[in-house]
Chain A
Amino acid sequence: MEAVEPIIRPPQEDPAKWPSLALAATVHALLIGALFLGVQWKSKPPSAVEVEVWRSAPTPIAASQPEPKPEPSQPEAKPEPRPEPRPTPKAEPKPPTKPAPVAESRPEPKPEPKPEPKPPAKAVPKPEPKVEAKPPVKPDIPLKEPPRKAEAKPKETAKKEEPKPKEALRKEETKAKEPPAKESTRKDDVRKPEPERRPDFSDQLAREQKELQQNKAEQKAAQDRRSRADAEARLSRQLQAEQAAAAENKRGLAEYIDKVRGKIRGNISLPPGIQGNPQAVFEVTQLPTGEVLDVKVRRSSGNPALDAAVERAIRKSSPLPKPAQPELFSRVLSIPYKPHDD
């Protein structure tokens, strides 16, 4: 048979092998170069954005520096309502200390005359406990009459039991009468310091309001700064929002007091002939809606017409303004009132 001729095949070795390898390599080199350049170009704008984020990060810290300020001011602001009741206890404690020496001074003259004329111990102890027991009561009841009655009682008992030593009793009476007069003058003294103390309180208020305003300004500035901040500043924003809420509480309390006072002031018609600037303190019981349930005169201004006018004004402004924050509502309000604001 014929010898089988070789099969005609396509050439096995490809002449295009090496050029195509080189071309593939160059294509990839080009790609990697483009990627490097392209990604770096693209990554620069984001890096600028992130730099802003980093820049914004310190601002919350700077903005958070005012944070501690409002916090300490909170305890300052909370006392605000307290000072109102305070004047009453502060004013009251003083009289007991002052009458106390008077009460001490009284027993002194009494034992002296009593043992001399009559030794019965019954009469002697009776006035003593009464005298001692009542003076502490006096300051609580800011009335002028009771002390006189209390002093009169021992006199009467003394008169009934001891008619003889009238002269001594008269001396006692004169001595006893004097102290109430002193007391009344002291009460006047006590009343006088109140208006003096009152401006102090308003000064405090003014100071705190100034601080509040400063805090507000700082917080506004901080908010401006914050507005630039990105998502990373959210946490600090929340913190500051909490502080702002705390600051708003303070502000809200001051605003609430001002609103109530302003409304009452608008409804008042002052009686003529007010002398000086006497302060009256009213205790107002209100419903959550702001309706006035009851008005009590905590401390009279000394002018019944003025007291009545203020009470009428409080009742007239019956739906009292409500505080911005419901937490600030209190059922019983203590409202100090002065005819003339300094």
Chain B
Amino acid sequence: MNVAQDLSILHLILNASAVVQAVMLLLAGVSFMSWYYIFRKWFTVKAARAQTEQFERDFWSGGDLNSLYQSAINDRHSTGNMERIFEAGFREFTKLRSQKNLDPKDVIDGSRRAMRATYQREMDSIDSHLAFLASVGSVSPYVGLFGTVWGIMHSFRGLSNVGQATLAAVAPGIAEALVATAIGLFAAIPAVVAYNRFAHEIDRLSSRFESFMEEFSNILQRQMR
């Protein structure tokens, strides 16, 4: 029974050497942060997709652009990324069209630049913290491995003092060292999966935004005549 208590996870963590404990603490923090960002991104991407679909439905339903613009200005807090891109482009378009001496091509170009700027900001907002997930996914196994190697080094150094090499002498050290790898893998695997999934989702969103920008430019160009 003592042995079973010795191998409990809490005992292993508390008995680990300082370096391994630091590694485990770091990995625990990283894991928590990565899970936090996973959920946050999940909510964000889900909301962005829903709002984009909603706006595309509204936009292509053939409604008036001015009324769409007004509604976007009025409830800015509930607008989606695509709605904000539309708002920026339409605002620039109306501003430039009011200036009589401008070439229609310049008006469309200005409007596109404004939409692109907003698009970049939106993408930056959506993309944020994805790099963190990528780093966690790629680095935390190595950090955990470092903790494990350190712990095994430690336990083997202790083994040399024992003289009689038994599995029981090495087992706790290796077990507590392997806890570090376990935590590292626990942080890394969801981070990698989430990063790949979110990167794909965001790619799809960005291509949707870009195609919307092109189509909206065409609509604005038709309105110039």
Contact = CB atoms under 8 A, between A and B. Distances in A.
Residue among A14, A15, A17, A43 having the largest count of chain B Cβ atoms under 10 Å: A43
A40 B175 CA distance: 13
A10 B32 contact: no
B125 interface: yes
B84 interface: yes
Contacts of A231: 166-167
Interface string A15-40: 11101110111011001100110011
State the main secondary structure of chain A at its contact with B: helix
Given A20-B39, A24-B35, A24-B39, A39 B77 contact: no
Contacts of B42: 16, 20
Contact of B32 (A11, A24, A51): A24
A50 interface: yes
Nearest to B91: A5
A35 B9 contact: yes
Residue among B40, B42, B118, B125 having the largest count of chain A Cβ atoms under 10 Å: B40
B8 A43 contact: yes
A16 B164 CA distance: 56
Contacts of B12: 39
Contacts of A27: 35
A8 B114 CA distance: 10
Interface string B73-103: 0000100010010011001000100000000
B39 A19 contact: yes
B4 interface: yes
A23 B44 contact: no
B91 A10 contact: no
A14 B1 CA distance: 49
B118 A8 contact: yes
B84 A47 contact: no
Contacts of B4: 40, 43-44, 46-47
Contact of A10 (B3, B8, B28, B121): B121
Contact of B40 (A16, A31, A44): A16
Interface string B1-15: 101100111101000
Contacts of B40: 14, 16-17, 20
A53 B167 CA distance: 11
Interface in A289-330: none
Contacts of B87: 8
A32 B126 CA distance: 31
A33 B152 CA distance: 26
B166 A20 contact: no
Contacts, number: 90
Contact of A39 (B7, B39, B168): B7
A40 B47 contact: no
A38 to B, nearest CB: 9
Interface residues on A, range: 35 or more
A14 B44 contact: yes
A232 interface: yes
Contacts of B186: 31
B125 A10 contact: yes
Contact of B84 (A2, A10, A20): A10
Contacts of A44: 4
Contact of A36 (B9, B44, B77, B118): B9
B43 A50 contact: no
Contacts of A39: 7-9, 12
A9 interface: yes
Interface string B93-137: 001000000000000000000000110011001100000000000
Contact of B8 (A7, A8, A36, A53): A36
Contacts of B182: 35
A51 B2 CA distance: 10
B7 A43 contact: yes
B43 A20 contact: yes
A232 B43 contact: no
Contacts of A36: 8-10
Given A5-B91, A40-B8, A47-B3, A10 B122 contact: yes
Given A31-B186, A47-B3, A16 B44 contact: yes
23 contacts: A7-B117, A9-B84, A10-B84, A10-B125, A11-B77, A16-B43, A20-B39, A20-B43, A21-B39, A23-B35, A24-B35, A25-B32, A28-B32, A28-B35, A36-B9, A39-B8, A39-B9, A40-B8, A44-B4, A47-B3, A53-B168, A231-B167, A232-B168
Interface of A: 2, 5, 7-11, 14-17, 19-21, 23-25, 27-28, 31-32, 35-36, 39-40, 43-44, 46-47, 50-51, 53, 231-232, 235
Which 4 residue pairs spanning A and B have beta carbons closest together? A16-B43, A20-B39, A24-B35, A10-B125
